[in-house]
Structure 1
């Protein structure tokens, strides 16, 4: 349900979302519109909240290990 096709893609999406979150909260002088846009894109990259992203990472690793054992 939550998992990506690879762990690498999932981690790259997480790094991108983290960068956008840091941009939205830590860059002074950024307009409210750009902050909101950065938050929305980060939310889309994580496919929900950070906990949803973490659950997806765990499920991706589980699915990968299950395929290796088969």
Structure 2
């Protein structure tokens, strides 16, 4: 497992673990359990959907690119340097 993917998975474990812990602790400690929610959002950099797109990018090893603007994320195929297409748009 490369370093980028490992860091991404660790951030996801902390983020989703903190969010789940925040919800699970509410019946036990009351609203004080929600203090874990900001920790989870910071670990996920504020956007769980963008975290999943980043995971797809990390798994693709650069074959996919993620762009997030104003809370809207898109995933697209990255152009490879030096890649040319054939006459009918094929490889």
Q: What TM-score do the two structures reach when normalised by structure 2? A: 0.55
Give the aligned length. 61
Give the gaps of 5 or more residues in structure 2: 64-91
Superposed CA deviations along residues 19-62 of structure 1, whole A, max 9, x for unmatched, are 11111101223242441x21111011111221111011112222
Q: What TM-score do the two structures reach when normalised by structure 1? A: 0.68
| Structure showing the higher helix proportion among its residues | 1
Give the gaps of 5 or more residues in structure 1: none
Structure with larger Rg: 2
Which of 40, 57, 60 aligns to 2:58? It is 60
What CA distance in whole angstroms lies between the structure 2 residues aligned with 1:16 and 1:40? 11
| Structure showing the higher strand proportion among its residues | 2
Return structure 1 stretches of 4+ with deviation > 6 angstroms.
none
What CA distance in whole angstroms lies between the structure 2 residues aligned with 1:9 and 1:26? 25
